[in-house]
Structure 1
Amino acid sequence: MNSKELDMRHEGNVIPLASALDRRTALLAPGLPVLLLRVRDRAAVHLSKDVQTLFDAAEEVLLEQVDRTRDTSEQRRSQQAVRNVRLKRKHVEFELLDAFHQAFAGLAQSTGKALFDSDLVRAPQPRLTRTDNAQTLAMIARAHTREGAVLEQLNARFEALLETPLRSTRGNPVSPACLCRYFAQACGELRADEATTAVLFDLFDQHVLGRLGALYSEANQLLASAGVLPMLTPMAAAPGARRPSRAGAPMLAAGQGQAIALQAAGQAFFASMQSSLAPLRGQLTPRLRATGAIAVTAQDLARMLSHLQRHTGVAAGAGAFDLGEELQHLLLKISARSGTRRCLGQAEEDTINLLGRVFAAFEQESSLHPRMRALLARLHLPLLKVAVLDKSLLTRASHPARRLFNELASTAIGCRGEADSLYLRLENVVQRVLDDVVEDSSAFKSQLDTFLTASLEERRRNDLLEQRARDAEEGHLRMQRARHDVEAALDRRLRGKRLPLSVLRLVRDAWSQVLLMAWLKHGIQSAAWKGALLTVEQLLASIAPHTRAEARVRLLAGLPALLKALREGLGSIALDSSTSREFFCELQRLHVQACTQAGGKTTAPDPSWIKVTEPIRLPGAEPLPALKEADDVPPCAFKMLERLRIGTWVEVREADSVLRCRLLARVEGSDRYVFANHEGVKLREWHRVALARAVHHGEVRLLNGGRAFDRALRKALDQLGSGQVR
C-alpha cells in the first residue's frame, strides 16, 4: 500500500487543530443551562448511533447497486462510491456532530435576544445543489407532520430555560430543518455524485429523521422531570390531528403520523385537480341530478363498488360493463328502499372521473400486449375503491396498490398473449385481488408481498439463465472481434508477397491461433501480442534471399531465438508433433536455400512458392457484414440507441408478426446488440448502424418499461389541464 492510499484511508480520522479547538468551545458552551447540556449530550448519542446505522445501510445499498448493474462504467462508479463512503464516513459523522454542538453554542451566545434560524450555525449554510430541494423540503415537512406536536413542547421548554423566544420550531438545534443542514454541510466533504448523495439523503430521512420521535420524547421527559413546564401533557395535538381523549394518552406512532401526512398530501393534490374535473360532473349519473338528494359517503361508495366487483361481469373482464350506469342503477335502488334520494358526492364523482381518465389513458399504453392491457384494466374497480378512501394513491409511487399495478405491468411487457405462461401467472394475481373484496388497500398489500416473494426465485433463475446466455454471447462476440483483428494483422503482413505454401499454411492455420490466444488473454496492446507479430515478421524475413554476407551472418545469429519463439508458440497451442516436425524440417531447407542464393546466381522459380492475392481468412471466422453507410440514418435514431440499457424491451415488426425482446448484451467496444426473450433465449442481433436504421424506419420500436400507472396518471392530468377532456 503506497503513501497516497494510506493518506486516503486515514483522511476521515484527521481532525484539524482549529476545528478541535472550536469544538472544545462548543462542548463547554459557557452560559448554556446545565439541563440543556444534558439534552444536547443525549441527543448527540442518538444522532451518532443513527448516523452509523445510516452509513451501514448506505454501504449495503451501494453494494447491491454494484451487484445489480451490468453496465461496466456504472459498476465502477458504484464501487468508487462504496470506497468513498467507507473512507469518509467518520469524517462526515464528526462534521455533523460538530455543527450540532456549534448550534447549541450559538444558543448560549444568543441568550437575551430572539433566535432566528441563521443564528444557530456560525458557518455559512451549505447549498443543497446535489439533492432535489423539493425532496429535502418534503423530508422536513414529513418530519414536522409526524413530530410537530412533541417538538412544539420541546421548543417551549427550551424557551423557558433560555428565557428567550425561539422564532419557530425550526430555530431549535434538534429540529428536522437544522439536522438536514448539518448533514448537507457534512456530506459536502464526500464530494459524492448525485446518485450517491440521493441515496444518503433517502437513508437520512429513514434512519435519522424517522427516529426523531424517541429523541424528542426522551428530551421532553428529562426536562419535565426536572421541573421545566411539567404541566404540559405528554403530547400536544399537531395541526389537523385529533386531540387525544384524555391527558397523557400515548402519542401517535411514527407510521400513523406518516400515514396522516401522506393522506393530507394526497387530499391537497386532489383538491387542486377538482377544478379541472368540474366540466365532467353530472355526466356519470345524469338521472340523479335532482335537488335535495343526499350524497353518499366515501365509505358507502366503497361498499357499493365492492358490491359491483362481486356481482357484475367486470371481475370476469366483461367489456360491456358501464360503471356510471351500474352506479346509477344501484343508487336508484337504494333511494327506493330508503325513501330518500341518494346521489354521488362531488369529491366521489370527481374521483371516479379521474380514475376513469387514468384507465382510458392506460388503454392507449402501446408498450403492453392488448391482452395484457385488458387483463390489468380489470383492476379498475379495486383501484377506484382505494382512491375513494385514500387519496395518497395519487401522489405516492410506493403505495401498495399503485406499486402492484406497476409491478404487474413491468412484468407483463414481455408477454406474448394468452398462450404465454406468464399471462396465466399474472392473471392469477389479478383474480386474487378481485376475489378479495375489502374496502381498503390490504388486498393489494398482501398480493404485492406474495407476488414479490414468488417472483424473487424466478427472477434469480431467469437472471442466472440470462447471465449465462449473455456470457456466452459476449464470449462469441469477443472471439469474432479477436479473429478479425488477427486476420487484419496477418493480411497486412502476408498479402502481396510470394511465400512458400508450407509457411503460409502454418502462419494462417497454426500461428493465427497463437495470436488469438495472446489477444484473448492479454489484449491487443500487450507484449505477448506484439511479440507474436514480431515472430511472424522475423520468420518472413528469414526465408527471403540473403545475397550479402552480412545478411547471412545476421540470419545465423537470429535463428536460435526465432526457432525458440516458434517452438514455444506452437507448443502453447498443442500443435501436432508430426506437423511441427515437418514444418521445422521444411524451414531448415528454406533457410539453407536463402543463404545459397548469393553472388547473383539465379535459380528456376520454385513451384511451391505462391503469391498471396486473396485476403487472409481464418478457419471458422465469420465475415464482417457488409453494412451500408449511415448517411441515410438521421442522428436522432442514434440518440434513441443511447436510451438502450441492458433489459430494455423493444418491439420488432416483421412481415407477418410482431416480436418482443429485450437487450441481452452489448459488448463494450463492439457495435453489436443482442436481444432475447424474458427467458433469456437469444432472438435477434443487430449491428449499431443496422439497428439505428431499423429504428428510423419503424421496424424496431423502443418500449416504455415500468410505472404504467404513473404514465397513465400523468397523461390524464395533462389532458385535464389542457381542457382536452369534456
Structure 2
Amino acid sequence: MTDAFEPPKIVPLGPRLDANTGERVGELLNAVRGIAGKRLQQCLGNLFEHVDDALFDLAEKAENNATQTHYFDGMREVRKRRPAVERSFLATVNRELGGLTGNAATASATPAPAMAELSLVADADLEESLAITSMGSKHESRLARDLFAINQRLSVICGGRKVEDSSNPIAPTALSQAFRLALKELAADMRVKLLIYKLFDRYVLSTLEELYADANETLARAGVLPQLRVSAPRGGTATRTATSTASVATGGAGTDEAADPAAVELLQTLHSLFVARRGGEAPAATHAGHASSGPPPSAGELLGALSVLQTQLAAGGAQQSPSMVDGTGNFDREAVSQLKEQLLGQLGALRGMRPTHVAGVDEDTIDLVGMLFEFILDDHTLPPEMQALLARLQIPYLKAAILDRKLFAHRQHPARRLLDALAEQAKGWSPESDRDNRLHDTIKSIVDQLLHEFDDDLGIFERLLQGLQQFHESNRRRSELAEQRVAESTRGREKLEQARRRAAREIVERIDGRKLPPLVHEVLARAWANHLVLVLLRQGEESGEFRDALRFVDDFIASTRPVPDATSRQQLRQLLPAIERALRQGLANVAFQPQDIERLLTQLRDWYGQQLGEPARVAVPNAPTVAETAPVAAIPESIQPIVEQHAEPEELPEESVPVDTDSPEWKQVEALQPGIWLEFQLPDEPMVRAKLSWVSPMSGRYLFVNRRGLKVADYSPQELAVLLASGHAQVLATNALFDRAMSAIVSRLRQPDAPNSPDAG
C-alpha cells in the first residue's frame, strides 16, 4: 500500500486552532456547551408549555374516573417538578460535554449490568426503554450527516479522542437518556411519562438541526475543520461520509473517510486475483459456442437485465423462477454460480445480440457478488432454511453493488449492514425457538420487499435495516428478561444446593462418627440441617446467627453423652434450657407447627429425664422407648433429610471424564464468552442452536438459552470440552457475515488449483 491509500486523518485546518492548548479547547467546548444549553432550554420550555394541554385532552377522553385522575395528578406533579426536571436535564448534558476532554471513565452513562448482577426489569421500565431507543435511533438516522460533522469537530477539539454518536452528549440517544434520568424527579404514572416522551420527541429531538447547525458553524469559524463537507450517497441514504480530496480507485469504487482501509486493500487484492485467474485479461471472454457481438454493456443495461431476472424470481412469491430452484424446491446452488451466464443471456435477449465481454469493473462486481452468495449457501453458521432465504437476495445485491461501488469498501454501507444483521438474526433461528414464525416471517418479508420493490433507490436498505433493528430490539428486551429469570433461577438453585452441602458437612463433621440416639440424629439431619440452610441463605456464613446455629449442634451432641455422676448430671440440667430455646427458634424458622414443636420437646424432655434417672411421666410396660418411636412421630414429612442426601460430595458422571486441559477443545471452552452461539447435535436428538447466557461463578457450569431466552441446557466445562472434541457441539462464528465471506473468497482465489474462471465449479 502506498500513502495514497491511507485514510485521511482528522486534523485541525486553519492557524487559529491549536488542539493541544487547554485554554483554547476549553473556550471552544464552552461555546458548544453555551449553544446546547440555550437551544435545549428553549426546546424544554416549549415542551412543558404543551404538557398541560395534552394531559387535559387525555383526561377528557379517559375511559374511567381512575384514568382521568391519573392524568390530573400528572398535571399537578409536572407543574410542581418542572424546574427540577429542567435543571437535572441541562446539568447532565452540560456535565457530559465538559467530560469529553477528560477520562472516558468519567462519563455518566450507566453501563449494562454484568451477567453476575442480573436483575428483573419491570414492564414499565421495558416500555420506557423501548420508547427511548426508538426516539434515539430514528433521529440519529435522520440527522446522520449533521451528527457526523459535529462528531468530527468535537473529536478535534478533544485532542483526537474519537467522538461517535454513542459518546456524543448532544446526540439524540444521549439526550433521550439524559431526559429519562431527569424524569426520575417526576413521581407520575407511566402513561404520563410516555406522553412527555412523545412531546420531547416533537419539541426537542425534532428541532436538533438548529443546534447542530449553530455548533458546526461556530466551530468551523474557529478553524475546526472549516473545509469539511458532508454528502449523502446515491439513493438518498444517510450514510455518514465526509468528502475528502483523496480518493482511491479500486475496481471503480471511490473511497473517503468512511471507507475501511483494510476493505479497500482487500478489494485491490481481489481485483488482482480475478485478473490473474483470467490469465491477465481484464474483460471476460464469452463462453464458446455462443454467437455474440457488440460493445460491453453499460451499467444501465446491466441493471435493466438484472431487473428482468429479479422480476422473474419475485413473480408469484413461492413460485420462483424455475432456473433458481432445484427439483426439491430448495434454492439451486448451481444457479447462484451461473448468474453471470444468465445475465449475459438476458442482455442478449434485450439487445438482440449477446455481448462479447463485460467491462472489467463490472465483471469483478458480478463475480464477487456471486462468490459472496455461494459462501452464504456453504456457511454453516446459518441454518439451511435461512441460507435458502438469504440466497434469494443475490440479484438485488448485485444491483446495489453496480449502483454503488462502495458497498464492499464501507463497513457502514446500509446494504452491507442489512445483510450482516439478517445473518446475525438468522444464526440463532430454529423451528423450536420460532414456533410463532415471527423471525422467519420478518426475514422473509425483508427478502420479499427487496425482490419486489428495489429498483434503484438504495434508501430501501436503510429503511429495512431500521425495521429489522426495531424488531430485534423489541425481541431482545423480552429475551433478556427471560434470560435473567433463567439465570437467577439457576443461581438460586445452586446457592441452595451449596448451602445444603455446607450444612450437611458441618453436621457430619461434628457428629464425627458418634452413635447418636435416633431422635437426636433425626433432629440434626432434617430439621436443624434445614434451619442451617436458611440461615446460610439469609444471613450468610459470617453471621452471628450461623455461628449460634453451629454452637447448638455442638451443645446438642454434647447433651447425648453419658452422665455417670452428679457433676455431669448438673451440667446437663444447666444446658437443657438453652437447647430448648434454640430448638424452639430453629424449628419455627423451618415452619414447624407449634403442636409439632411441643410434641418434639416433650419427647426430648422424656429422653433427657431417662438419662438423668428421673421417672417417666407415663409408664407403659414393655413399650418401646421414646428414642425409638420419636423420629416418625415428631418430624414432619416436608422436612428433607439433608445430611443423608449431601453428607458425601456428589460425583457427577461428567466430572469423571478425563479431559486434557492442554487440548484445543479445553482452550476453546475457556475462551467462551456470554453471547456466543453454539450448535449442539446430540445422538438421537434434533439439532439445537443455543447462546451462552451465563457462567455460574459457583459451579462453573455454562448456561445456554435459545433466542427467546429460554433454557436449552447447562454443561460443566468438562462436558463441553467432550462435546466439542466428539463433534457433538460446534462454536458458531462471531464475526460479521460479510467479513467471513470476503476472507473465504480471498482464500479460495489464492488456491493454486482453483479453476480459471469464477464461474467454474
Structure 1 length-normalised TM: 0.64
Partner of 1:87: none
Partner of 1:354: 368
**1:398 partnered with 2:412:** yes
Deviates more, 1:544-553 or 1:620-629: 620-629
Partner of 2:275: 278
Among candidates 31, 54, 59, match of residue 46 of structure 1:
31
Structure 2 stretches lacking a partner, 5+ long:
1-15, 37-93, 120-144, 175-208, 233-237, 245-254, 326-331, 615-623, 632-640, 756-761
1:39–1:219 Cα contact (<8 Å) kept: no
Change (3 A) 1:621 1:46: farther
Deviation, structure 1 residue 347: 0.9
**1:684 partnered with 2:713:** yes
**1:516 partnered with 2:516:** no
Aligned pairs (5 A) from 1:259-278: 261-262=257-258, 270-278=267-275
Among candidates 369, 382, 390, match of residue 368 of structure 1:
382
Partners in 2 of 1:685 and 1:253 — Cα distance? Answer: 42
Q: Secondary structure at the match of 2:465?
A: helix
Partners in 2 of 1:241 and 1:685 — Cα distance? Answer: 50
1:288–1:343 Cα contact (<8 Å) kept: no
2:296–2:359 Cα contact (<8 Å) kept: yes
Partner of 1:94: none
**1:717 partnered with 2:746:** yes
Letter paired with 1:437: F
Partner of 1:532: 549
Partners in 2 of 1:356 and 1:493 — Cα distance? Answer: 74
Change (3 A) 1:413 1:235: closer
Partners in 2 of 1:473 and 1:37 — Cα distance? Answer: 52
Deviation, structure 1 residue 62: 7.3
Deviation, structure 1 residue 323: 0.7
Letter paired with 1:353: D
2:28–2:157 Cα contact (<8 Å) kept: no
Partners in 1 of 2:226 and 2:648 — Cα distance? Answer: 78
Change (3 A) 1:55 1:631: farther
Q: Secondary structure at the match of 1:701?
A: strand
2:481–2:709 Cα contact (<8 Å) kept: no
Partners in 1 of 2:368 and 2:424 — Cα distance? Answer: 23
Change (3 A) 1:241 1:440: closer
Letter paired with 1:695: L
Partner of 2:140: none
Aligned pairs (5 A) from 1:567-716: 567-596=584-613, 608=627, 616-618=643-645, 625-635=652-662, 636-656=664-684, 657-705=686-734, 707-716=736-745
Partners in 2 of 1:683 and 1:596 — Cα distance? Answer: 62
Letter paired with 2:747: D
Deviation, structure 1 residue 432: 1.5
Partners in 2 of 1:620 and 1:491 — Cα distance? Answer: 7
Change (3 A) 1:566 1:330: same
Partner of 2:346: 330
Deviation, structure 1 residue 214: 6.1
Deviation, structure 1 residue 519: 1.7
Change (3 A) 1:615 1:284: farther
Partner of 1:441: 458
Partners in 1 of 2:722 and 2:220 — Cα distance? Answer: 68
Partner of 2:307: 306
Letter paired with 1:591: Y
Deviation, structure 1 residue 477: 2.8
Backbone CA RMSD of aligned residues: 4.9
Partner of 1:135: none
Among candidates 449, 470, 473, match of residue 456 of structure 1:
473
Aligned pairs (5 A) from 1:223-302: 257=243, 261-262=257-258, 270-281=267-278, 285-286=286-287, 294-302=295-303
Deviates more, 1:394-403 or 1:256-265: 256-265
Deviates more, 1:321-330 or 1:383-392: 383-392
1:310–1:435 Cα contact (<8 Å) kept: yes
Change (3 A) 1:475 1:285: farther
1:543–1:590 Cα contact (<8 Å) kept: no
Q: Secondary structure at the match of 2:362?
A: helix
Q: Secondary structure at the match of 2:691?
A: strand
Partners in 1 of 2:270 and 2:423 — Cα distance? Answer: 26
**1:66 partnered with 2:124:** no
Change (3 A) 1:413 1:384: same
Higher relative contact order (CA 8 A, sep 6+): 2
2:149–2:216 Cα contact (<8 Å) kept: no
Partners in 1 of 2:482 and 2:220 — Cα distance? Answer: 57
Deviation, structure 1 residue 472: 2.4
Partners in 1 of 2:583 and 2:470 — Cα distance? Answer: 59
Partner of 1:82: none
1:410–1:706 Cα contact (<8 Å) kept: no
Deviation, structure 1 residue 536: 1.1
Query: Could you list the per-position Cα deviations for residues 237-291 of structure 1 after superposition, in whole angstroms to 9, with x for gaps in the alignment?
Result: 98x999xxxxxxxxx9985648954369666753453112213445685369999
Partner of 2:125: none
Partners in 1 of 2:226 and 2:297 — Cα distance? Answer: 35
Deviation, structure 1 residue 446: 1.3
**1:203 partnered with 2:203:** no
Letter paired with 1:447: L
1:651–1:700 Cα contact (<8 Å) kept: yes
Partners in 2 of 1:297 and 1:676 — Cα distance? Answer: 51
Partners in 1 of 2:502 and 2:107 — Cα distance? Answer: 41
Deviation, structure 1 residue 546: 3.1
Deviation, structure 1 residue 443: 2.0
Partners in 2 of 1:609 and 1:631 — Cα distance? Answer: 46
Deviation, structure 1 residue 542: 1.5
1:406–1:706 Cα contact (<8 Å) kept: no
Change (3 A) 1:443 1:677: same
Aligned pairs (5 A) from 1:181-200: 182=159
Change (3 A) 1:253 1:349: closer
Change (3 A) 1:331 1:206: farther
Partners in 2 of 1:554 and 1:723 — Cα distance? Answer: 93
Q: Secondary structure at the match of 1:363?
A: helix
Partners in 2 of 1:501 and 1:444 — Cα distance? Answer: 76
2:530–2:642 Cα contact (<8 Å) kept: no
Among candidates 396, 402, 416, match of residue 430 of structure 2:
416
Change (3 A) 1:217 1:290: farther
1:289–1:343 Cα contact (<8 Å) kept: no
Deviation, structure 1 residue 659: 2.3
Partners in 2 of 1:310 and 1:699 — Cα distance? Answer: 42
Partners in 1 of 2:260 and 2:557 — Cα distance? Answer: 83
Letter paired with 2:572: L
Q: Secondary structure at the match of 2:456?
A: coil
Query: Could you list the per-position Cα deviations for residues 208-247 of structure 1 after superposition, in whole angstroms to 9, with x for gaps in the alignment?
Result: 9x99996675477689xxxxxxxxxx98798x999xxxxx
